[in-house]
């Protein structure tokens, strides 16, 4: 692989031909490089994480045995501010995945112009197999291990897959005990009683809905009566589905880890959300027909919202998608090959790095509120969120029209220029 003069060859796990989420991200950077002008001389900055920490997380299990788990915290780019990004607990977490997620956080934060860099963390563990006390010990030990690089002005974790406000409370408390002072701003997504922000739980889904409505308006699609299919029905997909339904759309299909359901006349979304709350998934919901998980991708719909995990829309199923618009609620749900297929079909893809940025935007609000110890109302927070999301999407849309590129490439153009301009202005030290 060719490398610019003065640079060492990329290690194998940074190679764009290396399979995995990081390889997907590197391909996305390569696609945007021709549009960066004179800033392209700095593009290698985006291809190498600033800092990657791998930690051993040993805990004593309830039965007295000692178990070891592998944890990560990656800071991709800090040129525009402290690192910001979630922590996920999942049995399939890898370094490649966490690196990619941290990079997408860099893009996302720059795209909506909040003063953060990108970071991400994770532990390779199935949290469903742990007791509550084991989960707490795991969280606290992991927080202590990554404590050398996190902090309110350094790197601010948040909830992600299989983590929640309780996990954030344990992280905040552990960090605070270690530094000898209550530091509410070290994490976001906390319980409101511990400095969390109103509106945070629904923020990502509300952002998905907001940019989806803007994209529909600009393309002439009417939301009322539009058929929506959602993959993943938690905080993101469930909230987005609820808001689209309240706007008059029909949620006709939903898929999660418990199965896929369908009702061409439209699902009763409040009843479905209650069912998910009670049972943990959409499987077994009485108001729908069961459909095969593979069938979900070919369901008749106008809007599809992948809001689960990465690499769900691939070259194997992209050709069957009937939607006119795909709004990415999850991080990295569409592979580059699938992106090309959807683009060739005329499907508008509203990419994750703008569509799901509502969560980090309200995390920014929470961080600001923690620093000032002055808190806003939920209406104020939602209004600020909608304004920022609309302004960011309008900017991305304009760049896409001017350069005749996809919304994903346009978002990368906006974000990468902001990051690299900051890098250029700061210079290199020493």
Q: What span, in angstroms and rounded, lies between the C-alpha atoms of 351 and 409?
A: 9
Assign 3-class secondary structure to 169-189.
HHHHHHHHHHHCCCCHHHCCC
**In this model, does residue 187 exceed pLDDT 90?**
yes
Q: Quote the mean pLDDT of the chain.
A: 93
What average pLDDT does the segment 221-250 reach? 95
DSSP-derived pairing of the beta strands 250-256 and 83-90: unpaired
220 Cβ contact list (under 8 Å, min separation 6): none
Asked if the domains 49-182 and 203-355 are classified in one and the same CATH topology, the answer is yes
Is residue 184 predicted with pLDDT exceeding 80?
yes
Q: Which architecture does CATH list for 49-182?
A: 3-Layer(aba) Sandwich (3.40)
Residues 33-57 pLDDT 10s: 999 999 999 999 999 999 999 999 9
Q: Could you tell me what percent of the chain has a pLDDT over 70?
A: 96
Note the helical H segments in 64-186.
95-111, 132-146, 165-179
pLDDT, average across residues 225-235: 94
pLDDT of residue 384: 96
Q: List strand residue ranges (DSSP E) for 160-308, in order.
A: 227-231, 250-256, 259-262, 289-291, 303-306
How far is it, in rounded angstroms, from Cα 42 to Cα 391? Answer: 27
pLDDT in tens, 324-377: 999 999 988 998 899 999 999 999 999 999 999 999 999 999 999 999 999 999
Q: Which segments within 176-307 are labelled E, that is strand?
A: 227-231, 250-256, 259-262, 289-291, 303-306
pLDDT band at 287 (very low <50, low <70, confident <90, very high): confident
Long-range contacts of 41-47 (CB under 8 A, 24+ apart): 42/420, 42/423, 42/424, 43/416, 43/420, 44/4, 44/7, 45/77, 45/79, 45/419, 45/420, 45/423, 46/77, 46/103, 46/106, 46/416, 46/419, 46/420, 47/10, 47/14
Residue 309: pLDDT band with limits 50, 70, 90: confident
Tell me the catalytic residues: 120
Q: Do residues 121 and 47 make contact, with C-beta atoms less than 8 angstroms apart?
A: no
Q: From the CA atom positions of the chain, what is the Rg in Å?
A: 21
CA 378/CA 386 separation, integer angstroms: 12
pLDDT band at 21 (very low <50, low <70, confident <90, very high): confident
**Angle at alpha carbon of residue 387, lines to 155 and 311, rounded to 5°:** 55
Helices (H) and strands (E) in the chain, counts: 12, 12
Q: Three-class SS of residue 277?
A: helix
- What share of residues in the chain are helix, strand, coil (percent, to 5)? 50, 15, 35
Where in the chain are the domains? 1-48, 49-182, 203-355
SS3 196: coil
* Ranges 19-33, 239-253, 300-314: which has the least confidence: 19-33
Percentage of the chain with pLDDT > 90?
89
Confidence of residue 2 (pLDDT cuts 50, 70, 90): very low
As a whole number of angstroms, the distance between CA 18 and CA 366 comes to 37
Residue indicated by tokens 């108001």: 287
* Class in CATH terms, 203-355: alpha beta
3-state secondary structure of 92: coil
Q: Which residue, 189, 239, 185, 183, is CA-closest to 210? A: 239
* Structure tokens belonging to residue 430: 């020493």
Q: Is the pLDDT of residue 18 over 90?
A: no
Q: Which two tokens stand for residue 120?
A: 């991400």
pTM for the predicted model, two decimal places: 0.91
- Where in 333-381 does DSSP place strands (E)? 348-350
Cβ-contact 315, 335 below 8 angstroms: yes
What is the C-alpha to C-alpha distance for residues 73 and 89, in angstroms, rounded to an integer? 12
């Amino acid at each position: 692989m060719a490398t610019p003069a003065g640079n060492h060859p990329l290690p194998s796990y940074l190679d764009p031909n290396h399979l995995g989420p990081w390889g997907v991200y590197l391909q996305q950077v390569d696609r945007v490089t021709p549009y960066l002008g004179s800033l392209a001389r700095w593009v290698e900055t985006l291809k190498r994480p600033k800092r990657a920490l791998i930690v051993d997380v040993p805990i004593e299990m309830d039965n007295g045995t000692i178990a070891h788990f592998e944890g990560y915290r990656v800071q991709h780019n800090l040129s525009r501010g402290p690192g910001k990004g979630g922590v996920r607990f999942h049995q399939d977490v890898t370094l490649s995945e966490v690196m990619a997620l941290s990079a997408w956080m860099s893009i996302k934060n720059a795209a909506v112009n909040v003063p953060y860099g990108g970071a991400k963390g994770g532990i390779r563990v199935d949290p469903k197999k742990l007791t509550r006390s084991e989960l707490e010990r795991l969280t606290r030990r992991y927080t202590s291990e990554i404590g050398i690089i996190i902090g309110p002005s350094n790197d601010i974790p948040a909830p992600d897959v299989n983590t929640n406000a309780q996990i954030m409370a344990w992280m905040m408390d552990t960090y605070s005990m270690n530094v000898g002072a209550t530091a509410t701003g070290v994490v976001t997504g906390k319980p409101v009683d511990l400095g969390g922000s109103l509106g945070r739980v629904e923020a990502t889904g509300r952002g998905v809905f907001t940019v989806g409505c803007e994209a529909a308006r600009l393309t002439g699609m009417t939301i009322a009566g539009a058929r929506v299919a959602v993959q993943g029905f938690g905080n993101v997909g469930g909230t987005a589905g609820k808001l689209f339904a309240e706007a008059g759309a029909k949620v006709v299909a939903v898929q999660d880890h418990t199965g896929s359901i369908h009702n061409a006349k439209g699902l009763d979304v409040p009843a479905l959300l209650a069912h998910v709350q009670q049972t943990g998934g959409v499987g077994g919901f009485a108001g729908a027909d069961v459909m095969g998980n593979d069938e979900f991708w070919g369901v008749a719909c106008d809007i599809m919202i992948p809001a689960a995990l990465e690499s769900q829309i691939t070259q194997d199923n992209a050709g069957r998608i009937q939607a006119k618009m795909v709004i990415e609620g999850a991080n990295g749900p569409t592979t580059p090959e699938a992106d090309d297929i959807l683009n060739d079909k005329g499907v508008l893809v509203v990419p994750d790095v703008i569509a799901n940025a509502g969560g980090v935007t309200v995390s920014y609000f929470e961080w600001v509120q923690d620093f000032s110890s002055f808190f806003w109302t939920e209406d104020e927070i939602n209004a600020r969120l909608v304004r920022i999301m609309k302004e960011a999407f309008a900017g991305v849309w304009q760049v896409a029209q001017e350069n005749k590129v996809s919304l994903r490439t346009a978002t990368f153009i906006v974000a990468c220029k902001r990051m690299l301009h900051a890098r250029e202005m700061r210079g290199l030290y020493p």
